[in-house]
Amino acid sequence: MKNSIRFPHLLKSELLADLPDDFRVRFLDACSVRLYDEPEEILAQGASVHGMFVIAHGSVEITCVSPDGQTAMIHLARQGEIFGEIETLSENVAAATCTATPKTTVLFCAQALLYDAVRAPAFLRNITRVFYDRMARDNATKFVDQFYPVDQRLRTYLHRLSADKPEISKTQADLAGLLGCARQTLNRELGRLREDRIIEIEKGKIRVLDRDALVPAVENGLPPDRVN
């Protein structure tokens, strides 16, 4: 099989599962490359979307702002994941804001290329599988936000944000906004985690020391009264 010159690891991504080798190579090579050395907004909630993005390296934070101004972190998308495909195919504006974390590389699949690709039944199936998994994940997130107190929600966010590396470049104001709580409440909960040696706090940064201590029960989607 001929390997794509760029990002051959993506040939095995969920997006390209069960597709012919030449299709996968052509698709990846037809996408344009975008590099983000520093945090940068890729898509803004409510803005027009003209193509799909595939994460080649790094991660992308996906957040959403409610009508009353509350910000929620929806997902931390990682290598091989996609975003912007539903908006592109449905010709709707961005449902959320997507921000690249430092040292992230994404491939941009323009609208015309995406329309051509979905003519392949396996590619269309893969797109819908991604959307299905996203709905299931979002349902679990809503469950956590509804039933868990601030301390457990904080642990959940720290667990997700530290998946790639222990350092989290978030200010306490950012985290308070994501959790929808007061700064004083957040500071108290962070202090408890620091006392338990689960995290360290530096200026503008949080370092996770013991990720296993963060919310395994929450990640499994169990309500508080069912956690052992």
Residue-range domain boundaries for the chain: 8-143, 148-226
Query: In terms of Cα–Cα distance, which of 148, 130, 146 is closest to 189?
Result: 148
The SS3 call for residue 26 is helix
- Phi/psi of residue 51, nearest 5 degrees: 175, 170
Read off the pLDDT of residues 178-203 as tens digits, 9 standing for 90 and up. 777 778 888 899 999 999 999 898 87
| Class of domain 148-226 (CATH, top level) | mainly alpha
Q: Which two tokens stand for residue 159?
A: 């667990």
Q: What percentage of the chain has pLDDT greater than the value 90?
A: 47
CATH class entry, domain 8-143:
mainly beta
Judge if pTM exceeds 0.85. no
pLDDT tens-digit readout, 1-12: 444 567 999 999
Domain 8-143 and domain 148-226 have a common topology: no
Closest of 171, 38, 187, 161 to residue 100, by C-alpha: 38
Contact predicate 47/92, CB 8 Å? no
